[in-house]
Amino acid sequence: MFHSQTASASRLPHLATVVALVLTLAVGVMQSGTRTDTVTASTASVTTR
């Protein structure tokens, strides 16, 4: 059932990493809504690099 997904993940490991980072950021924003501007600033600085 997950054979195709596993193959895709194996061939595209960077995609899994990006998804993990996005989920981590989402959880961080949800757990600390008051630090949304800080997370946004951090994301902007990382994106700039």
pLDDT digits over 1-49, tens only? 455 666 555 666 788 888 888 988 888 877 776 555 666 777 776 766 6
**Number of residues written out for the chain:** 49
- 35 Cβ contact list (under 8 Å, min separation 6): 28, 29
pLDDT score for 26: 85
Q: Is residue 48 classed as helix, strand or coil in its secondary structure?
A: helix
pLDDT score for 27: 84
pLDDT score for 13: 76
pTM strictly above 0.75: no
How far apart CA 30 and CA 48 sit, in angstroms, is 24
pLDDT score for 16: 82
